[in-house]
Amino acid sequence: MLVLALITQITFAQDRSVSGTVSDNSGKPLPGVSVVVKGTQNSTQTDFDGKYSIKVSPTAVLSFSYIGTEKQEIKANSTTINVKLKDASQNLQEVVVIGYGVQKKKDLTSAQSSVKGKDIEGLVTPSFESQLAGRASGVQVTSSTGILGEAPKVRIRGTASISSGTNPLYVVDGMPMYSGDIGGYANTNALGDINPNDIESFEILKDGAATAIYGSRAANGVILITTKKGKKGAMKVAYNVVTGFASATKTHDLLKTEDFLVIANEKRTNRAQTPWAAGNEFDIDWQKAVLNQSAFQMDHNLSFSGGSDKTRYFMSMGYTTQEGVAKANEMQRITLRTSLEHDINNWLTVGGSVAITRTQYDGLNTGRNSLSGNIFNAIRQLPNNPIYDATNPTGYNINLATGNVGQGTNLQPVGDNISNIVYVLDNNKYKSKINRMLVNTFATAKITKDLSYKFQASADNPITSGFLYWNPIHGDGRGSLGRLQNDNTELLRWNIQNILSYNKTFLEKHNVSATAVAEFQKEKNERFFGNGTNLLDTFYNQNLVTGAYGIQESGGSVTEVGIVSYIGRLAYNYDERYFLGASIRRDGLSKLDPSQRWNNFTGYSAAWNIANEGFMKGISNTVNDFKVRASYSEVGNTEIGSYPYLGLTSASKYGDNNGIAFTQFGNNILQWETSKKTDFGVDLALFNNKLKIGFDYFKNDIDGLVLSEPTAPSLGIPSNRITKNVGSLYNKGYEFSADYTIVNTGDLRINVGANLTLQTNEVTSLPNGGADLIGGSSTDVNISPNIIIREGESVNSLYGFEYWGVNPANGNPVYYKADGTLVQGLPVTGTYKVFDPNNGADVSVAGTLAATDKKVLGGTLPTYFGGFNSKITYKNIDFGFLVRFSGGNKLFNSTRRDLVTQNLNNNGTEILGRWQSVENPGDGWTPRLYAGTNTFLNQSSNATTRFVENGDFISLDNVTLGYSLPKSLLAKANLSNVRFFVQGQNLVIITKYKGLNPEMETFGVDLNGTPRAKVISMGINVNL
């Protein structure tokens, strides 16, 4: 015992106190840096002045780590050790996530963009992907509506299909997750179930070298999402709260009562009919009645993270509530996520994460051409017609006999048989409730120093319950005497991966990396619904209740899809100068016939880092990285339906008897669509990595497009069409990116970034001898008549008549024929006459305007887009903004056409420019008014250049101003950081487009969408 005590005393005597200051690359002290004695539990953190003190032995090694900096290890051979941590973002040694692994950023041979999770933290958003817009080259994100739950459209390097899926593959911590709408009656976005504050980073895989590893699912690009994990060090607590208000960025300019009375009655008097409208007691803004002026937004997030030498943990809780700009539209989300990793010994690590989410959406009818569609209806309501009527049993202005909105003091009923939209929004219900669990478990074994094995098992299980109620008194439910409907959608996808990784350096300069993967995935998707009509009473408006309805119906579906994959990847570089990479993936997909379901997908890449050559050493401080690279791959698109190779039947009535009907003709030689991706790029870093420049040329050739080819009716094939691999198209373009740290001193840091994408799309072959596909990719009858897919043009180009203007002699609309001659339309007779600009009054020569006179009116896909951002920090103040731009595309503003209706509905102010007489010809673009002639006068079934506009815009998407409390003040409360901030989103858009927003389009057609939201918010970030 005496000897043991003596040894212990000597050991303690050898320990000594080591102290110092830790600062960042600019010399600014860093608080909260983890200081750990390597191999022990002994640790501390720097204080608010970056100072630390710890007792260690002279032979110990101190490890310094801090988020966003490069880890440093230093021997404790001095009593004073000052450390300057390098910014990891400025260091090419940074490790980035790639498919089924990680890689040093400097070793990448692919086109891959990174977005940090902190870039979108604090933004008010229903889902993270909408905030990726403008942050990465080649990535276009657009939102066609302001409805919460509606998923934005994400395109990576263009549109890669006509009839199959065009969304990228989303992979969260290695698990391919569900995306898109996942059931219910209110719009649902599967990606909205992920708390944006839980995301550490996004890696956007764009070219062949990056995406080939995902084979048959990578034609549309891949987005890898890495969630936050615990890090070694003392527990860190973070609390963030954001509160704000949203309103419509813009609403339509509609007529006030005074102008409405003139226009409405002029439509009739021009037709020699009695007036329509009367009464000026009211001047109602019906848009205001269906839109929120200050929709409440709130977001709370609380997280705990930390760890020891062996165990690391992270836990977060989040609560989000958002009111939509559209009344009756709301979202609530509660999230709980935990992550735990533990080193069992020096060769085995186990861990996993569980994310539980409950998301609820309240929705509404947003039909583009629906009588109770919120915007369709609101812009048609008469401004002199009140919303409420105290004498009506309902309290609303409703004609109970016809089921339409009451006409008030007007002389005729309101046009288009519309309902009172306020009553509909107050009474009808559209709901979706999602309970979702995302589970991920893994075990990693280090077999040797160079060889490791990882087993990962994951599951994604969203369960959505939906409820719909249509009030029987008025609106959508009147015809069926009310409607109740419930549904349940359960999706389950499990994924198992076995990953073998090998990394070895031979003879100091030969670096080899190899990966082998066996992956198995299966999903089962089930849906059941029940509904009842002819309701007993309006009391039954909460759920489907037995006996509450007279007519009942039920139904459901189930699909199963499996995919088995075997993957290999090999990467080699010599002395970090010459790089070669190759991958192969063999996929077997159950969606295809057994004879066709297996295919190989390969990828190849090469790069040369010129900066690491000996002849560049003299300027190595100026040119830090200069890499040229090239890649090629073949990848696929599996979103081609569940069972396209099978001949299918469906339940069908035969008289009063149950039966089955032949509904799908199977094609057992059908294959998935393939995309051949070629990329040439340059990465350049200058001036000690202060300036980084990227350039890429890309071309994606898509072949084997899955399209329907017509068949002879005599064959008896359902719909007289069979699905085949019969089309092709390509996307090609250029990408530019730059990031520049202009100033980085102790108090001031200024950083700017920009990206630009130039791209074109062209259809190169179509079935049936290259015949046009009128209707394009749309099945919406309100969209499809306006678009076309034609060889030599971009996908879903606008298609219709070319408009000349108004005949100044009589106010008739004038159009170009295919041969360049002109015809004018006579609304009185509904016929066409030849138009001579030199003799406009002559209407004696008969003319025609036929489908053969239609032409392509412009491409709907932007030919350029990008973003510009800046972050400025001065002492405790930070300021940042994001500006986004896009253009080169044409849009058919179908809403404008609706706003010049010739029925008894309200109009937009554009109609004030109508032709009235030879002396008062108006704006030369708006014809003479003539009641009841929408189909003819406004070509309501066809697109015309009268309403085609440029889609160019510049948008100020985000502006943030923040202030962090001084460290000296925080020390008294034992806080690490407290930051207050205010921010604005979607504040300003500069465009000549006359609609609400040029991004509010579907296949290039803008029709009665809900305005997007402008958000002003403020928040607090607190870190302990």
**CATH code for the domain of 28:** 2.60.40.1120
**Residue ranges making up the domain that contains 905:** 797-860+892-950
What pLDDT shows up at residue 276?
95
The alpha carbon of residue 224 and the mean position of all alpha carbons in its chain are separated, in whole angstroms, by: 14
In a domain, 176, yes or no: no
Average pLDDT over residues 899-909: 97
Distances (CA, A) of 443 to 351, 459, 470, 942: 6, 16, 51, 60
The helix (run of H) or strand (run of E) holding residue 890 is strand 890-893
Separation between Cα atoms, residue 462 and residue 318, nearest integer Å? 18
Count other Cβ atoms within 10 Å, centred on residue 683. Answer: 24
Cα dihedral 174/180/185/187 (nearest 10): 110
Which residue's structure tokens are 């008194």?
473
The residue among 935, 950, 965 that closes a domain is 950
Is 884:955 a contact under the CB 8 Å cutoff? yes
The per-residue pLDDT of the chain, averaged, comes to 92
Six token digits for residue 934: 């929408």
User: Where residue 68 falls among pLDDT bands split at 50, 70, 90?
Assistant: low
Stated as kind and residue range, the H or E segment containing 266 is helix 257-269
* Distant-in-sequence, close-in-space partners of 543: CB < 8 Å, separation ≥ 6: 467, 484, 486
Tens-place pLDDT, residues 171-191: 999 999 999 999 999 999 999
What is the residue type of 958?
Answer: N
Q: How confident is the model at residue 654, as a pLDDT?
A: 77
Q: Of 62, 84, 106, which one is at a domain's C-terminal end?
A: 84
Element (H, E) at 267: helix 257-269
The tokens of 786 are what?
Answer: 């306006």
Q: What is the pLDDT of residue 621?
A: 86
Q: What band does 957 get if pLDDT is binned at 50, 70 and 90?
A: very high
Helices (H) and strands (E) in the chain, counts: 10, 55
Q: How far is CA 3 from CA 6, 11, 14, in A?
A: 5, 12, 17
Q: What is the DSSP letter of 908?
A: B
- Point out the least confidently predicted range of 31-35, 418-422, 607-611, 1003-1007: 31-35
Specify if 708 maps to a domain: no
Q: Report yes or no: 936 and 815 within 8 Å, Cβ to Cβ.
A: no
Q: pLDDT category, 208, cuts 50, 70, 90?
A: confident
Other C-beta atoms lying within 10 Å of the C-beta of residue 704: 18
> What is the helix (H) or strand (E) element at residue 970, kind and residue range?
helix 967-971
How confident is the model at residue 718, as a pLDDT? 83
Confidence of residue 221 (pLDDT cuts 50, 70, 90): very high
Nearest-angstrom CA–CA distance, 167 and 217: 10
The pTM of this model reads 0.90
| Domain-located, residue 896 | yes
Residue 190 lies in a domain: no
Nearest-angstrom CA–CA distance, 972 and 980: 18
Q: What is the pLDDT of residues 125-147, one digit of tens each?
A: 889 998 999 999 999 999 999 99
Distance, in Å, from the CA atom of 467 to the CA atom of 829, rounded to the nearest integer, reads: 49
Per-residue pLDDT reduced to its tens digit, 974-1019: 888 999 999 999 999 999 999 999 999 999 999 999 999 999 999 9
| CB-neighbour burial class of residue 211 (10 A; exposed 0-12, middle 13-18, buried 19+) | buried
Q: Which of 264-268, 467-471, 1020-1024 has the lowest mean pLDDT?
A: 1020-1024
CA 381 → CA 287, 319, 408, 899, distances in Å? 9, 38, 12, 11
Residue 7, judged by CB atoms within 10 A of its CB (0-12, 13-18, 19+), counts as: exposed
Tell me if 347 sits within 8 A of 371, measured CB to CB: no
| Distance separating alpha carbons of residues 700 and 572, to the nearest angstrom | 26
Taking the mean position of all CA atoms in its chain, how far away is CA 585? 28
Angstrom distance (rounded) from CA 453 to CA 287: 60
Position 458 pLDDT exceeds 50: yes
Largest Cα separation within the chain, whole Å, is 126
pLDDT at 88: 57
Task: State which of 84, 113, 130 marks the end of a domain.
Answer: 84
Distance CA 149, CA 430 (A): 12
Give the Cα separation of 101 and 205 in Å (integer).
13
The CA distance from 396 to 390, in Å, is: 7
Could you give the CA distance from residue 263 to residue 256 in angstroms, rounded to a whole number? 11
Cβ count within 10 A of residue 804: 18
993 contacts 950 by C-beta, under 8 angstroms? yes
- Do the domain assignments include residue 855? yes
Among 237-241, 302-306, 545-549, 678-682, name the one with the lowest average pLDDT: 545-549
What pLDDT is attached to residue 1? 37
**pLDDT at 51 exceeding the cut of 90:** no
Q: How far apart are CA 275 and CA 904, in angstroms?
A: 10
pLDDT tens per residue, range 620-660: 889 999 999 999 999 999 888 888 888 888 877 777 788 88
Note whether residue 44 is domain-resident.
yes
Q: Which of 446-455, 661-670, 764-773 has the lowest mean pLDDT?
A: 661-670
User: In the predicted model, what is the mean pLDDT of residues 79-88?
Assistant: 83
Q: What is the pLDDT of residue 89?
A: 47
* Residues counted in the chain: 1024
Q: Is 675 or 720 the better-scoring residue by pLDDT?
A: 675
**How many domains is the chain built from?**
2
| Neighbouring-strand partners of residue 983 | 960, 1017
What's the N-to-C CA distance of the chain in angstroms?
A: 44
Q: Is residue 822 part of a domain?
A: yes
CA distances from 598 to 214, 340, 569, 636, 671 (A): 14, 37, 19, 12, 9
pLDDT greater than 70 at residue 239: yes
Averaged over 85-100, what is the pLDDT? 73
Mean pLDDT of 420-431: 97
Distance (Å, rounded) from C-alpha 982 to C-alpha 959? 8
Q: In the structure encoding, which two tokens stand for residue 964, read together?
A: 């962090």
Strand partners for 423: none
Rounded Cα–Cα distance for residues 514 and 529 (Å)? 49
Secondary structure letter of residue 777 according to DSSP: T
Contacts of 894 (CB under 8 A, 6+ apart): 782, 786, 943, 947, 1005, 1006, 1007, 1008
Tell me: pLDDT of 337 over 80.
Answer: yes
Facing residues of 557 across strands?
Answer: 527
Write out pLDDT tens, residues 379-400: 999 999 999 999 999 999 999 9
Nearest alpha carbon to residue 555 among 432, 451, 651, 418? 651
Q: Is residue 828, in this structure, part of any structural domain at all?
A: yes
Query: Which pLDDT belongs to residue 646?
Result: 86
Instruction: Give the range among 323-327, 401-405, 413-417, 965-969 with minimum mean pLDDT.
Output: 965-969
